[in-house]
Amino acid sequence: MGNEKRNLGDLLSLIKYPLLTEKAINLYSKQQYTFIVDRSLTKTEIKYILEKIFNINIVSVNTCILPIKQRKVGRFLGNRSQYKKTYVKLKEGDSISDLFN
């Protein structure tokens, strides 16, 4: 899991929340789930955490870091922070539907 060893409790707090957009919900039928995670996590750490939490088998993990976007609220300008989006594909027969019910 990389150069530094982290325990499961520390890593668990770095999985922020599942993403519930229209595109993400359409991927459920293909055994793919989407999560927002901390930028410091690697793919192997993400796989390890999710397999331990949900007791599932993960086939692949794809990640992307979304760009900083400018936001305007009234007359004030600010930046939305960067975050990492993770697409996780599960082995056939596995699901984590109890998370989304």
Neighbours of 42 (CB within 10 A): 12
More confident residue, 4 or 73: 73
The domain segmentation of the chain, as residue ranges, is: 8-92
CB contact at 8 A, 84 and 39? yes
| pLDDT tens for each residue of 43-81 | 999 999 999 888 899 999 999 999 988 999 899 999 988
CATH of domain 8-92: 3.30.70.330
Residue 29 CA to residue 4 CA, distance in Å, equals 36
Please check the confidence at residue 2 and state whether its pLDDT lies above 60: no
Q: Which two tokens stand for residue 24?
A: 């993400």
| pLDDT tens for each residue of 26-39 | 998 898 999 999 99
For residues 61-97, b (16+ Cβ closer than 10 Å) or e, as one string? Answer: bebeeeeeeeeeeeeeeeeeeeebebbbebeeeeebe
